[in-house]
Amino acid sequence: MTELDVRRYLDRLGTDHPGRPSAAGLRALHRAHVERVPYETLDFQLRRPTTVDPEHSVSRVLSGRGGYCFHLNGAFATLLTALGYDVRWHRGGVQLDQDTPAPGANSNHLTLTVRCEGETWLADVGMGDALHEPVPLRAGTYRQGPFTYRLSPSVAEPGGWRLDHDVHGKFAGMDFSPAPAAAGDFVAMHRMLSVSPASVFVRIASVYRRDADGVDGLCGCVLSRIDAGGNRTVRELTTAEEWFGAVHEVFGMPLDDLGTQDRARLWEWLARSHATRLRLRESAVGRVPADAV
C-alpha cells in the first residue's frame, strides 16, 4: 500500500493514524472497520466478478464498498501490515448451524491473527455479525455488546482454535488452522462461494454492520437490528427506494458504483427472491402433518 492509500483507508474508517503498533491501536482499528466497512455480498447477486487479491480488496474499501471474509480480512491485513503490525492469514471454516458438522479449516473463511505487545490476537472483520473487537488468542469467554463468544482449542481442526458464536448469532462457530496461509489458498473456494447457485452467499443478499451496542443486518428485503439487550426488531423493505436508502443510511454504502441498470437488476432479483421465500414460508405454515389427520 502507498502512503496515500493508507491515509485514504484511515479516512474511510474515520480514524487518525494510530501511531506505533499497540493493542489499543489494534482494537480501535478493528472497531472502526466493522462499524464503517460493512460485510456485504451484493456483487454476487449481480454476477460481478471479484477476487481474493488483497490489493483488489483494498481498492473495494477505498471505493466505498465492503465485502465478505476474503475481501474484508484481506484488506484489513494489508492495512495492518502497512501500519507495522505483525499479521498472519489463516485458513478457517465456518459452521453455519449446530445441525451440520463443523467442517474444520476447509478454507471457506479467511481469518487473521496479530502479534502485538507480547500477545497474539484473533482479529476478524469479515464475520458479519460477530466480533466487534479482536480477542486474545487464549481459551476464554468474551462479551461484546449483546453477544458472548467462546474461544477454545478446536476439535474439528487439530492444533487449531474454535470461536463459538453467541446462540443468537447468524452462524454456530468458526474453526481455523494455526498454519499461516496466503491468498492463493482461498482462490478455489472463493470461486465456488461467489458463483455457485448452491452457495448461501449467492442465494441470499446480505449486509451486516457491527457496533458497540449490537448489529444491523439486511437479509434480502428484511432489515433487522439486535440491540445491547439482545432485543431484535425487524422491518420489511418493500420498495427499491427503501432498500437502497437503508443500504446507504444504515450501512454507509451509497453504492455509487452501481448504475441505473445494475440497481434495477438488483432490486428485481431481491423482490423476486423475497416473494419466493414468502410463498415457501406460507406453504410450510399451511402444511398439515400426516399424523395430525
Sign (positive/negative) of CA torsion 27, 30, 35, 36?
A: positive
Secondary element (H or E) of residue 269 = helix 260-286
Residues 86 and 120: their CA atoms lie apart, in Å, by 10
Residues 244 and 256: their CA atoms lie apart, in Å, by 11
Burial of 125 (0-12, 13-18, 19+ CB in 10 A): buried
Say if domain 197-283 classifies as CATH 3.20.20.70: no
CB-hemisphere CA count at 13 Å for 204? 11
- CA-angle at 40, arms to 37 and 43, nearest 5°: 120
Ranges of each domain in the chain? 197-283
Q: Per-residue pLDDT for 191 more than 50?
A: yes
- Of the ranges 27-36, 44-53, 225-234, 280-289, which one carries the lowest mean pLDDT score? 280-289
Q: Please check whether residue 82 is in contact with residue 4, taking contact to mean a CB–CB distance below 8 angstroms.
A: no
In 84-209, alpha helices (H): 187-195, 200-203
pLDDT, one tens digit per residue, over 153-180 is 999 999 999 999 999 999 999 999 999 9
Residues 63 and 57: their CA atoms lie apart, in Å, by 10
Indicate left, alpha or beta for 19 from its phi (over 0: left) and psi (-120 to 50: alpha): left
Average pLDDT, the chain: 95
Please report the pLDDT score of residue 285 as a whole number.
Answer: 56
Q: State the helix-helix crossing angle for 69-82 and 3-13, rounded to 10 degrees.
A: 120
pLDDT, one tens digit per residue, over 102-143 is 999 999 999 999 999 999 999 999 999 999 999 999 999 999
Neighbours of 143 (CB within 10 A): 9
Phi then psi for 198, rounded to 5 degrees? Answer: -80, -15
Please report the pLDDT score of residue 279 as a whole number.
Answer: 82
| Cα dist from 151 to 94, 101, 131, 191, whole Å | 14, 18, 12, 29
| Cα dist from 54 to 61, 74, 242, whole Å | 11, 5, 32
Q: In this prediction, what percent of the chain has a pLDDT beyond 90?
A: 93
Confidence of residue 288 (pLDDT cuts 50, 70, 90): very low
Instruction: For residue 98, give the DSSP letter.
Output: T
Residues 175 and 104: their CA atoms lie apart, in Å, by 6
pLDDT, one tens digit per residue, over 193-215 is 999 999 999 999 999 999 999 99
Average pLDDT over residues 6-15: 98
Q: Which residue type occupies 97?
A: D
Q: Which residue type occupies 107?
A: S
Q: Please check whether residue 22 is in contact with residue 49, taking contact to mean a CB–CB distance below 8 angstroms.
A: no
Cell of 229: 439487550
Average pLDDT over residues 213-240: 97
Please report the pLDDT score of residue 139 as a whole number.
Answer: 98
Q: Per-residue pLDDT for 283 more than 90?
A: no
Phi then psi for 53, rounded to 5 degrees? Answer: -60, 120
Residues 40 and 186: their CA atoms lie apart, in Å, by 18
Instruction: Give the strand pairing for 147-153 and 232-236.
Output: unpaired
Average pLDDT over residues 56-79: 98
Q: Per-residue pLDDT for 72 more than 70?
A: yes
